[in-house]
Amino acid sequence: MKKHNFSAGPCILPQEVFEKASEAVLDFNNSGLSILEISHRSEAFVSVIEEARSLILEILGLQNKGYTALFLHGGASTQFLMTAYNLLEKKAAYTNTGTWSTKAIKEAKLFGEVVEVASSKDKNFAYIPKNYSIPTDADYFHCTSNNTIYGTQMKSFPKTEVPLVCDMSSDFLSRSLDFSQFDLIYAGAQKNMGPAGVAVAIIKEDILGKVKRQIPSMMNYKVHIEKDSMFNTPPVFAIYTSLLNLQWLKNKGGIAGIEGKNIEKAALLYNEIDRNPLFIGYANKEDRSIMNPTFNLIEGTDKATFDKLWKEANINGLNGHRVLGGYRASMYNALPLKSVQVLVDVMQQFEKIS
């Protein structure tokens, strides 16, 4: 029986994507070869990666606007490094909204001055800072749109004269935004796009080539662009599965089509968290993530009984991150509303027997 998967990542993907990907593992497009063994230089795979790169730009509304999409190794953590390697000449501005932005700041400091323009560390990252100033002489401004650990999400983005860089790993492709306001977007695939093992970077090409340092080839965005994201052997299966998921999303009406469902799922769970006297939400209400609601039991409540109930209900991945504890219900694009309803039913059952 398929579990109700609230895992933060690697996470749930659509069932039809799993089925098509598994078929390709045995025989890719009736070629007599597995997707795992075809050459990355073959015409068959080149068409896969070209379609995936094009489809990302189409879904984001960035076609013919000077952007390119790259599939890269190393997940978003390598992008912490690559962003600074390619863009930081003297000074960069960052907001610190949690574990991942803290790590991004650490990597950037290897290359130049980092100005932390705002932080929510004072409240253990339970909110999104607002009303901060970004230095006009910064090489770029970096933010993290959604925080999986603490369950916060930026609802708007600052207008700035400097290039805007955003780590969208955990809410990529989940909500409608003006993506042209960003000069660089990066994301690990393993939330809303595909399996672990690949990251995507969407880059406005005119921001590159402005640092004086020599950049190693593997860290150089321009090299990857020139080689059409094929500078070295790409993670073939992860990219193919990402393509399947992008096709699924397009058939669902794209981001606009999926956003309403994501809002509905979040509203259902948050309404129960706020109604049920045994639970309390973690993040400030105005900054709550629609992807990663975080919550806890009130003090003195029988955690063992609640844990037993949700596990018996065939729910998976509900435990919070080890940094925060409590519970986290990650509700990515492919999670059906009925799974959220099962969790809400368990919470109401727990209320009745407590």
Our CA angle for 40, 191, 232, nearest 5°, is 20
Let me know: does 237 contact 13? Beta carbons within 8 Å.
no
Name the percent of the chain in helix, strand, coil, to the closest 5: 40, 15, 45
Residues ≥6 apart with Cβ < 8 Å to 240: 21, 24, 28, 35, 45, 48
Q: Radius of gyration (Cα) for the chain, nearest Å?
A: 21
Q: Which of 235, 234, 223, 220 is nearest to 82 (CA)?
A: 220
For residues 289 and 147, the answer to whether their CB atoms sit within 8 Å is: yes
CA–CA distance, 267 with 290 (Å, rounded to integer) = 8
What is the Cα–Cα distance from 80 to 304, expressed in whole angstroms?
A: 38
3-class SS at 350? helix
Known catalytic residues? 100, 167, 191
Cα 140 to Cα 91: distance, rounded to the nearest angstrom: 8
Pull the structure tokens for residue 327.
């519970």
